[in-house]
């Protein structure tokens, strides 16, 4: 065996497997030709095995012709594509080239799938049939299987694109693809550690290049699991990448939609540029509904106070009783359209916002408006009396919704279960309205369950 064969032999490729290869010949270094690398890999999988390469086409003038249109996926894939016994799928954007006994079955009908990388594509079929993936000198962000996972979960940030291709009948066809990947994925760098910790990556070397070998099925399952827990896991964490900010906005919009309730923002005062403020909300996936507390048709009562008749101005007035009274209410007083509830105020009055009010009280089904606000939330009242001093020490501090009102998560989840069709008013504290609103929205989204399996 020569050096290259020995290195390939040590990678852990199973004879007879279908091996999907993502490669950079440049990373392998001088002295290794694409042909020799392909031959070495062919020998490793053996006569019973199948080799696959992505032969995607970046841009396209005219239409895709599997026999003619070059690949933009590096020189090894391009050499492989042009070999006489190579088959290539007809997908206009994400065609796959393959050699070996399983080639036909894996590639068939790719141009008719819903998404380029999702269900029933060569990528998914390869993973489900026990195949292996080899990355040669490239990082996990080239692993198409990530997009397979995104497509299987139908993540809202995937695109719709069009492509034209030459059909088997010689006619040029247009296909509209949903679930198309595209744009940045800054979070993928962290996936290597996650997969490595699960023992799913086997490292090796070819020439100067580092290689990673994965079992495609378990790797796909792991990525689906990661993206189910956090649909934004593949995206940049910060707010500096325009692609990822847009994508996260789409995820959040879907989460809010899955909540079924309306979301509105309550500001201390109207922003100086309402149009720009509305744009910002939309960009971050929040419907552009915002107002000030004084503008809302709400009558607030002190404890023990009898509700007055609401103003007769044609608006749907909402009644907000003191939390202790709310627990005992059995019907909405005449003239009102519903009841408002502020869990933070209940906590400050010494009640447990979920167990003490929503769970025990009959008011549960009468509440139409929830006011979710930041605050220390009466730690002394319901959580631990030994922490009561915090109320005095930090009367105006803002803490995360989920921390200050641990029970708010219960409330959101309980209301979600019974399809709460009311409104969540997110009460923005004083300060820069833009920054404070975004912070509050982010905390609210953190309370929501992931939206991928609805």
List interacting residues with Zn ion (CB under 5 A): 184, 186, 236, 241, 243-244
On whether the CB atoms of residues 363 and 327 are closer than 8 A, the answer is: yes
On whether the CB atoms of residues 158 and 181 are closer than 8 A, the answer is: yes
Closest CA to 404 of 320, 345, 361: 345
Q: Would you say 186 or 307 has its CB closer to Zn ion?
A: 186
Computed on alpha carbons and rounded to an integer, the radius of gyration of the chain in Å comes to 29
**CB 440 to Zn ion: min, Å:** 23
Q: Would you say 91 or 185 has its CB closer to Zn ion?
A: 185
- CA angle in degrees (0–180, nearest 5) for 153-159-164: 120
Residue whose C-beta lies closest to Zn ion: 241
Q: Would you say 149 or 263 has its CB closer to Zn ion?
A: 149
**CB 150 to Zn ion: min, Å:** 14
Three-class secondary structure assignment of 358-379 = HHCCHHHHCEEEEEEECCCCCH
Q: Would you say 65 or 192 has its CB closer to Zn ion?
A: 192
Q: Would you say 241 or 366 has its CB closer to Zn ion?
A: 241
Q: Would you say 133 or 244 has its CB closer to Zn ion?
A: 244
**CB 186 to Zn ion: min, Å:** 4
**Secondary structure element (H or E) that encloses residue 135, with its range:** strand 132-136
Q: Would you say 184 or 289 has its CB closer to Zn ion?
A: 184
Q: Would you say 178 or 184 has its CB closer to Zn ion?
A: 184
| DSSP at 239 | S
Strand partners, 50: 18
**CB 244 to Zn ion: min, Å:** 3
Cβ neighbours around 436 below 10 Å, total: 18
**CB 241 to Zn ion: min, Å:** 3
**CB 237 to Zn ion: min, Å:** 9
Sign of CA dihedral 65, 70, 73, 75: positive
The full DSSP string for 405-434 is: THHHHHHHHHHHHTT--SEEEEEPPSS-HH
**CB 187 to Zn ion: min, Å:** 8
| DSSP at 353 | I
Strand partners, 23: 136
Cα distance between residue 52 and residue 319, in whole Å: 65
Pairing of strands 338-341, 367-373: parallel
**CB 74 to Zn ion: min, Å:** 23
């Amino acid at each position: 065996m020569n050096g290259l064969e020995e290195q390939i032999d040590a990678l852990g490729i199973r004879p007879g497997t279908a091996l999907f290869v993502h490669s950079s010949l440049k990373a392998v270094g001088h002295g290794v030709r694409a042909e020799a690398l392909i031959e070495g890999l062919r020998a490793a999988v053996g006569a019973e095995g199948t080799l696959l390469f992505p032969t995607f086409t970046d841009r396209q003038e005219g239409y895709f012709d599997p026999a003619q249109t070059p690949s933009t996926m590096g020189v090894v894939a391009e050499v492989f594509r042009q070999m006489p016994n190579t088959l290539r799928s007809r997908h206009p954007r994400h065609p796959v080239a393959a050699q070996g006994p399983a080639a036909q079955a894996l590639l068939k009908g790719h141009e008719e799938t819903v998404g380029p990388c999702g269900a029933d594509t060569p990528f998914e079929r390869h993973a489900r049939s026990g195949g292996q993936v080899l990355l040669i000198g490239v990082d996990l962000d080239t692993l198409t299987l990530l997009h397979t996972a995104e497509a299987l979960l139908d993540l809202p940030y995937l695109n719709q694109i069009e492509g034209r291709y030459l059909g088997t009948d010689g006619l040029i066809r247009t296909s509209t693809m949903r679930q198309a990947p595209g744009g940045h994925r800054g979070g993928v760098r962290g996936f290597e550690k996650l997969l490595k910790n699960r023992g799913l990556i086997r490292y090796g070397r070819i020439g100067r290049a580092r290689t990673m070998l994965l079992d495609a099925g378990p790797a796909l399952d792991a990525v689906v699991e990661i993206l189910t827990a956090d649909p934004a896991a593949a995206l940049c964490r910060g707010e500096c990448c325009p692609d990822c900010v847009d994508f996260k906005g789409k995820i959040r919009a879907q989460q809010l939609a899955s909540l079924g309730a309306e979301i509105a923002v309550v500001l201390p005062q109207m922003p100086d540029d309402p149009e720009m403020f509305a744009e910002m909300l939309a960009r971050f996936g929040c419907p552009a509904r915002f107002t000030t507390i004084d503008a809302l048709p709400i009558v607030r009562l002190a404890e023990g106070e009898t509700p007055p008749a609401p103003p007769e101005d044609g608006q749907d007035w909402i009644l907000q009783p003191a939390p202790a009274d709310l627990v005992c209410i059995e019907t909405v007083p005449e003239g009102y359209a519903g009841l408002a509830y502020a869990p933070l105020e209940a906590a400050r009055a010494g009640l447990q916002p979920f167990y003490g009010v929503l769970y025990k009280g009959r008011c549960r089904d009468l509440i139409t408006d929830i006011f979710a606000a930041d605050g220390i939330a009466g730690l002394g009242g319901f959580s631990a009396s030994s922490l009561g001093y915090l109320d005095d020490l930090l009367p105006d501090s803002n803490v995360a919704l989920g921390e200050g009102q641990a029970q708010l998560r219960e409330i959101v989840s309980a209301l979600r279960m019974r399809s709460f069709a009311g409104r969540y008013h997110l009460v923005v504290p004083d300060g820069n309205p833009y920054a404070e609103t975004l912070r509050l929205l982010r905390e609210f989204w953190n309370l929501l369950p992931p939206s991928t399996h609805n």
